Amino acid sequence: MPFARPPSNVPSPGQAPVHGNRLLAAFSPGDHARLGPDLEQVQLIRGQVLFEPGEVPTHVYFPHEGTMISLVMPLHDGGATETVTVGLEGAAGIGVDATDREVDAFVRGLVQMPGMAARVPSARLVDAAIASPALRHLLARYAEAAMSMALQSAACNAAHPVRARLARWLLVALDRAGPAPAGDGTMLPLTQEFLSEMLGVRRATVGEALLALQAEGLVRLRRGGPVVLDRRRLGDAACECYAAVRRRFAVLLPSVSARPKT
């Protein structure tokens, strides 16, 4: 599946989103002041590539509610597997060391649910992190949480069946979708082709897993994407990895961790 770079990274002046990014909201007033007017709002579209492996990201993106970015590992056969999902609790385009200007990306930054995001030039965020020990600590905590998600995903892909992994992934998307409360009756704008890329399996395999969830009354399949019918039972169908990652984020970043909608 080819990934294009649509020319949509154009700021939208005056289009301030209703819901913000929790990680960005945790910045101190002084750290916000350091970013100044370079912090801008942009509209992201589904399938947009923000950066590729081997590139030094030009910007760091802070998704707002309803927007989701996947960090995916492209493979030589043309496929890709998701490693980290970034929503309103995090950022995409920042390395483990927020003060390093030269580290290139190891993964592709791919928009999977469109919407608004804040972005700042990477160099400006590096300058702010160098000047602020508190900001360095916050970003280091987020990097540790994101690493935990990547490690859990690797274990999940190796050990758990596709149905449980799919249920987990739908819950992650649901946490970041739409205005609260998001739950029963929420449609996730995700195609089967896209889900197969994220799970690293064939499209037919994803289709079978979705049909199984539909037969159990957990989702309803629609042209625009699956509709979640029963969030609680979908949680029961998911593997342990969903809860494990939530607990890790809550420990490391209690004020910004994504909370499930009820």
Tell me the DSSP string of the chain: ------S---B-TT---SS--HHHHTS-HHHHHHHGGG-EEEEE-TT-EEE-TTS--SEEEEEPTT-EEEEEEE-TTS-EEEEEEE-TT--BS--SSTT-SSPPPSSEEEEEE-EEEEEEEHHHHHHHHHH-HHHHHHHHHHHHHHHHHHHHHHHHHHHS-HHHHHHHHHHHHHHTSSSSS--TTEE----HHHHHHHHTS-HHHHHHHHHHHHHTTSEEEETTEEEES-HHHHHHHS-THHHHHHHHHHHH-TTT------
pLDDT at 246: 92
Contact 75, 87 (CB under 8 A): no
Going from the C-alpha of 54 to that of each of 51, 122, 183, the distances in angstroms are 9, 15, 38
Tell me the C-alpha distance between 88 and 256, whole Å.
8
Instruction: Write the DSSP symbol of residue 81.
Output: E
**Do 102 and 56 contact (CB within 8 A), yes or no?**
yes
Average pLDDT, consecutive stretches of 10 residues, N- to C-terminus, the chain (262 residues):
40 43 93 92 95 94 93 79 88 90 88 94 95 96 94 90 94 74 75 84 94 96 92 94 94 76 46
**Predicted pLDDT at 122:** 95
pLDDT of residue 181: 46
Compute the distance between CA of residue 83 and CA of residue 56 in angstroms, rounded to an integer. Answer: 18
Q: For residue 104, what pLDDT is reported?
A: 87
Asked if CATH classification 1.20.120.1200 holds for the domain at 22-134, the reply, yes or no, is no
pLDDT for 259 equals 57
- C-alpha–C-alpha distance, residues 125 and 105, integer Å: 16
Fold of 158-252: Arc Repressor Mutant, subunit A (1.10.10)
The pLDDT assigned to 183 comes to 58
Other residues' Cβ atoms within 10 Å of the Cβ of residue 56: 15
Query: For position 212, what pLDDT does the model report?
Result: 96
Phi, psi of 199 (to 5 degrees): -90, -10
What is d(CA 208, CA 221) in angstroms, rounded to the nearest whole number?
Answer: 12
Sequence spans of domains, the chain = 22-134, 158-252
